[in-house]
Structure 1
Amino acid sequence: MKRILFITLLTGIMFTSFGQKINKDLPSIKLKTLDNKTIDLKEMVKPERTTVIIFWATWCSPCKKELENVDEMLDDWKKKYPVDLIAISIDDSRNSGKVKPYIDGKGYKFPVLLDINQDTKPVFNYPTVPFSAIIDKNKKIVYIHNGYVEGDEYNLEKQIKEICGK
């Protein structure tokens, strides 16, 4: 009985999502584009705009669902707020070749970067994916969110609205 309770509790924790506000400068982090060009994440974040970063992987079903649901809301968000989206795949070298075909197949228009060595992990301190972060207009990491359950995109919009002061 205790074992069943423990497994149930552990499963519940694994599929729980939570967010927190922070205030940390975004450092320079070199990542690869889908065309294998090196780019600095800090330079991709535009001044005077809010940027949502979604960390994901091709093997992560909740990650794919989050990308799909956020993509559906992105045009509406852009009409209301000065916001951009960047997706960062943490697929390792064995799986990174699956990222571009997946993104192209979905028709996503937002930038997607590759973090094969998980160089972003020490900066954002994510335990696993899905994980999202919001960078404010001053290039500060101001909000992080671990996990994804259906509907979290509405909380993400609430945070964007608050950060943008709307």
Structure 2
Amino acid sequence: MKKNKMMNAVAIVFLLGLVLWGVYDYAQKGKDQAAGDSVLQNKEVGLNAGNIAPNFKLSKLDGEAVSLSDLKGKKVILNFWATWCPPCQMEMPHMEKIYKEYEKQGVVVLGVNLTFTEQDPAKVPVFVQDYGLSFPIALDKKGEVSDLYAVVGYPTTYIIDSRGVISKRYQGAINYDIMRSALAGIQ
């Protein structure tokens, strides 16, 4: 009988310890989240490294809407490109390779086609098919998002961390190694 009481007491102490540890752990995670949120509150929306990336909403090739805020929690390679742009054409296989290799790690490549610059917008899905692109392609039909991101040369790529903060900006074609290195340096 004493042995059973002793076992019950040990079990209760053990369970109480687990509950207390769980409460402590939950409180710490909440503190960490609040600290992260307050750091973001001090950042301004802008186009420089350290700024929160401006949000936008566009339609994708499949007709679904996509906004940058939908991708919060993921690392984003935001790439502005056009079908007629030779450096964009050169860069696309690298974009696809990085997307395929890093998608399961929470990385999204979002291609924003500068549709307003295309002579024939019907060429965009053909280009995507010809290059075997599987990452999402959004269509900037009026140039509003390219204006928002101050895109003056093609391609232009922004590397955005999982909090929505710009890490790097590249003007001109970049390759797989540059993308991989840029992703390694962000959260």
TM-score range, shorter chain: 0.7 to 0.9
For structure 1, the residue ranges without an aligned partner over 5 or more in a row are 1-19
Please give the root-mean-square deviation of Cα atoms over the aligned residues, in Å: 2.2
Q: Which structure has the highest strand share of the two?
A: 1
Percent same amino acid among aligned pairs?
21
Residue 126 in 1 paired to residue 151 in 2?
Answer: yes
The number of residues matched between the two structures is 140
User: Pairwise mapping of residues 9-158 of structure 1 onto structure 2 (< 5 A)?
Assistant: 22-37=49-64, 39-45=65-71, 47-78=72-103, 81-92=105-116, 94-148=119-173, 152-158=175-181
- Matches of 1:136 and 1:48 in 2, distance apart? 8
Q: Kindly tell me: are residues 83 and 99 of structure 1, through their superposed partners in 2, closer, same or farther at Cα, counting changes over 3 Å?
A: same
Q: Match of 2:6?
A: none
The answer to whether the 8 A contact 1:54-1:133 is kept is yes
Q: Kindly tell me: are residues 40 and 76 of structure 1, through their superposed partners in 2, closer, same or farther at Cα, counting changes over 3 Å?
A: closer
Q: Which structure has the highest helix share of the two?
A: 2
* Moved beyond 6 Å, runs of 4+: none
For structure 2, the residue ranges without an aligned partner over 5 or more in a row are 1-46
- The higher-RCO structure (CA 8 Å, 6+ apart) is 1
- Matches of 1:123 and 1:22 in 2, distance apart? 15
Q: Match of 1:11?
A: none
Which is greater in Rg?
2
Deviations, residues 86-121 of structure 1 (Å, cap 9, x unaligned) = 111003264322111211232211100100211122
- Matches of 1:40 and 1:72 in 2, distance apart? 22
Return the offset for 1:21.
Answer: 6.1
**SS of residue in 2 equivalent to 1:25:** coil
